[in-house]
């Protein structure tokens, strides 16, 4: 019988660290078991576990890594952070993760800036042989949609790059990515006819404002050409169906307040996965406040169909992941 979750721990060692742009670093990990790591990529999430060698050994060997992690004393429980598998080279037993850095306060950002080859981690990810390896832990589904709108801040850049790489040539649409600096604009590898726009923030720009302005300008222009998203009645979307506990995955609950349709996690971060495709497939991931603005503008003000839209708060300003 297949195990309950497609996710399991992989013991890895940092082998390379490459600066891709002003604020992005690509860290390459290797580990013998990575030959079994699922290469689904798109926006499939992974967990990075930072701990002592003894803790990493225990986490990697535990029958249930999550139970092991939860059972650790609060004071010494290893830090866990959510990232995206950027490239998986199973034949070489290698995995790349692209980190955007934001100083050394956050343990993951600090690791990206300071880690040395030989440093160890445990990465929790889907393993290829599991029957749900390409459906657990990801929100992206095209479902035959021939047009896409991909929207994200710098933390979503790796997932957007993966999604673009997965699209067939006939798919059209737009991608908007807000980044900290003009030097963070990277060429995307895609066969699709999707126009990619990078929006570098200046010191004067409020985080997310370039993104909301650009997206609403695009959707409004599209509407004036008679190609609005959809004005179908909003229908419930699925929330956080994953095999790994993320800020978004478990214990989702409807939150009342300014918008009673918003689904949030227990930490109050908005996370809502549209269950079906549609004419235009919309995927949005950024800091939680920006995602909330985009969701309001698209669903409430422009009548987009909730079923074909995913809105995911990847992080929350002022909060550490999981807090
Ligand atoms: C499904 C998913 C996939 C993700 N994929 C990636 C990925 O591939 N690459 C990537 O770089 N990030 C990714 N993220 C975002 C990443 O998990 C968060 O940025 C995380 O908080 C970073 O951890 P940390 O230890 O550096 O900082 P934390 O300890 O979590 O936070 C410390 C402080 O830094 C702030 N902070 C956190 N992230 C940022 C940021 N990006 N810019 C400015 N301030 C920040 C926090 O609000 C807090 O005040 C993903 C998140 C999710 C949910």
Q: What average pLDDT does the chain have?
A: 88
Question: What atom of ligand 1 comes closest to residue 112's alpha carbon?
Answer: 26
pLDDT over 50 at 218, yes or no? yes
39 Cβ partners below 8 Å, 6+ apart?
85, 88, 90, 128
Closest-CA residue, ligand 1 atom 27, reads 106
Q: What is the pLDDT of residue 111?
A: 98
Give distance in angstroms: CA of 28 to centre of ligand 1: 18
Give distance in angstroms: CA of 303 to centre of ligand 1: 30
Give distance in angstroms: CA of 108 to centre of ligand 1: 8
Give distance in angstroms: CA of 59 to centre of ligand 1: 22
Pairing assessment for the beta strands 120-126 and 45-50 based on DSSP bridges:
antiparallel
| 16-35: pLDDT as tens digits | 999 999 999 999 999 999 99
Give distance in angstroms: CA of 152 to centre of ligand 1: 13
Cβ < 6 A, ligand 1 pocket = 45, 81-84, 98-100, 102, 105-109, 155, 158, 246-247, 314-321
Half-sphere exposure of 26 (CA within 13 A, CB side): 15
Sign of CA dihedral 4, 281, 313, 185: positive
| Confidence tier at 52 by pLDDT (50, 70, 90) | very high
Give distance in angstroms: CA of 225 to centre of ligand 1: 37
Closest-CA residue, ligand 1 atom 49, reads 318
| 85-142: pLDDT as tens digits | 999 999 999 999 999 999 999 999 999 999 999 999 999 999 999 999 999 999 999 8
| Confidence tier at 279 by pLDDT (50, 70, 90) | confident
| 195-208: pLDDT as tens digits | 999 999 999 999 99
Rounded Cα distance, 267 and 213, in Å: 27
| 232-253: pLDDT as tens digits | 333 334 333 332 323 333 333 3
Are the C-beta atoms of 7 and 120 separated by less than 8 Å? no
Closest-CA residue, ligand 1 atom 51, reads 314
Q: What is the pLDDT of residue 243?
A: 29
Q: Which of 20, 210, 42 is CA-nearest to residue 100?
A: 20
- Per-residue burial over 210-224, b if 16 or more Cβ lie within 10 Å, else e, is bbbebbbebbeebee
- Per-residue burial over 16-25, b if 16 or more Cβ lie within 10 Å, else e, is ebeeebebbb
pLDDT over 50 at 80, yes or no? yes
Rounded Cα distance, 227 and 212, in Å: 19
Question: What atom of ligand 1 comes closest to residue 84's alpha carbon?
Answer: 8
Q: What is the pLDDT of residue 138?
A: 95
Closest-CA residue, ligand 1 atom 44, reads 102
Give distance in angstroms: CA of 235 to centre of ligand 1: 30
Average pLDDT of 218-239?
65
Q: What is the pLDDT of residue 4?
A: 72
């Amino acid at each position: 019988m297949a195990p309950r979750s497609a996710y399991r721990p992989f013991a890895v060692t940092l082998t390379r660290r490459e600066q891709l742009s002003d604020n992005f670093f690509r860290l390459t990990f290797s580990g013998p078991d990575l030959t079994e790591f699922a290469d689904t990529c798109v926006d499939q999430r992974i967990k990075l576990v930072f701990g002592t060698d003894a803790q990493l050994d225990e986490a990697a060997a535990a029958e249930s890594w999550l139970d092991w992690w939860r059972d650790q004393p609060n004071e010494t429980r290893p830090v866990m952070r959510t990232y995206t598998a950027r490239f998986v080279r199973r034949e070489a037993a290698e995995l790349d993760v692209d980190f955007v850095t934001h100083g050394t306060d956050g343990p993951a950002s600090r690791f990206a800036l300071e880690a040395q080859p030989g440093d160890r981690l445990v990465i929790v990810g889907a393993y290829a042989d599991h029957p749900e390896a390409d459906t657990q832990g990801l929100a992206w589904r095209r479902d035959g949609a021939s047009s896409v709108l991909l929207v994200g801040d710098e933390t979503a850049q790796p997932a957007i790059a993966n999604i673009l790489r997965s699209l067939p040539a006939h798919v059209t649409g737009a991608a908007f990515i807000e980044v900290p600096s003009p030097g963070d604009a990277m060429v995307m590898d895609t066969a699709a006819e999707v126009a990619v726009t990078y929006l570098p923030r200046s010191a004067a720009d409020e985080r997310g404002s370039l993104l909301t302005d650009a997206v609403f300008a695009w959707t409004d222009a599209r509407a004036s050409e008679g190609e609005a998203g959809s004005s179908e009645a909003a229908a419930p979307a699925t929330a956080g169906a994953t095999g790994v506990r993320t800020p978004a995955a478990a214990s989702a609950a409807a939150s009342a307040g300014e918008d009673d349709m918003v689904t949030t996690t227990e930490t109050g971060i908005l996370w809502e996965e549209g269950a079906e495709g549609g004419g235009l497939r919309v995927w949005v991931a950024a800091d939680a406040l920006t995602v909330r603005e985009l969701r309001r503008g698209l669903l409430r003000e422009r009548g987009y169909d909730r079923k074909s839209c995913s809105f995911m708060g990847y992080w929350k300003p002022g909060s550490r992941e999981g807090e």
